[in-house]
Amino acid sequence: MNKEEKHGLYMRQVLHAAELAEIEHLAHICNTCDGLDLKLNWEVLRTRPGDQTNDFLYYQNGQLVGYLPLFVFNATEAEISGMVHPDYRRQGIFTQLLASAKKECYARGLQKLVFIVEHLSSSGHCFVDALQAQYHHSEYKMVLGLSPNTELSAIPLEFRRAVATECATLAHITAVSFDLNEQDIDWYTPQSLQAPRRHFYVALLNGAYVGKVDVTFGEDEAFIYGFGVLPEYRRRGYGRQILLLTIQDILTHGQQQIALEVAVENERALELYHSCGFQEISRYNYYVLPL
């Protein structure tokens, strides 16, 4: 169907280049109008596996005016972001998008929805309030400044890319670091470790695992996530060393813009990131709605 013929709700398992361009254009309009930085996980959108419906688009007379993506990172919940063109709000468009997304989540046996609302989005907060979704936590998005502090200490860490035989180790450190059920962590596989745009690193001291960190290389920025240090190695400078080594490796791959997210109340992590040159640029609030 041609663009000018589209009208109403469309569901996608894979987003084609034209649809990605439409989503990017809509995001630019919404961000500019409202002074926001909507969280849309662009690298995830560009690399959908194509085996499940995760993207819901709404058109009016050929124009994309509403969009809702699902981000499913574990077996129990789906994160939801989204937007509606300023000229088409209060017409029930996002409600229709959400209804279709909820049907998909029910079919997949997910237990809850997690709404990501930009801190300055009044319309987003009104919507989650109407749903009676419960506030859970907030995160800052931080980016590395132009003059980062990347001076390494003398700590003799071994820092390298993880290999296929270390999938279980990555899952274990992640579970311990983020208080997750280790059996639910299924995203570290030999195949995912070979993905060209995703790097998984481990840090060792005298042969013992200290921590790990994950990086996704997007078109515009590298994103650091899954940064964890085992409890027995915390508060000893190892976390800072791992972060600095990660930054150095990202820079050697030619990516100059580096971002990460951190819980607002995590003062120790904020202090670490500030000391390395990261600065807050956005804040996202997370709301939970059981299914």
pLDDT, tens digit (0-9, with 9 covering 90-100), for 268-277: 999 999 999 9
pLDDT at 1: 47
Q: Which portions of the chain are predicted below pLDDT 50? A: 1, 3
pLDDT, tens digit (0-9, with 9 covering 90-100), for 51-89: 999 999 999 999 999 999 999 988 889 999 999 999 999
- The architecture of the domain spanning 3-132 is 3-Layer(aba) Sandwich (3.40)
Would the CA dihedral through 185, 186, 189, 193 be positive or negative? negative
Would the CA dihedral through 239, 244, 156, 194 be positive or negative? positive
pLDDT, tens digit (0-9, with 9 covering 90-100), for 19-60: 999 999 999 999 999 999 999 999 899 989 899 999 999 999
List the domain boundaries for the chain.
3-132, 144-283
- The architecture of the domain spanning 144-283 is 3-Layer(aba) Sandwich (3.40)
Asked if the domains 3-132 and 144-283 are classified in one and the same CATH topology, the answer is: yes
Q: Which amino acid is at 163?
A: V
CA atoms within 13 Å, Cβ hemisphere of 145: 12
- How far is it, in rounded angstroms, from Cα 259 to Cα 94? 29
- How far is it, in rounded angstroms, from Cα 64 to Cα 84? 9
Would the CA dihedral through 207, 250, 20, 81 be positive or negative? positive
In 3D, which of 151, 153, 154, 156 has the Cα closest to residue 204?
A: 156
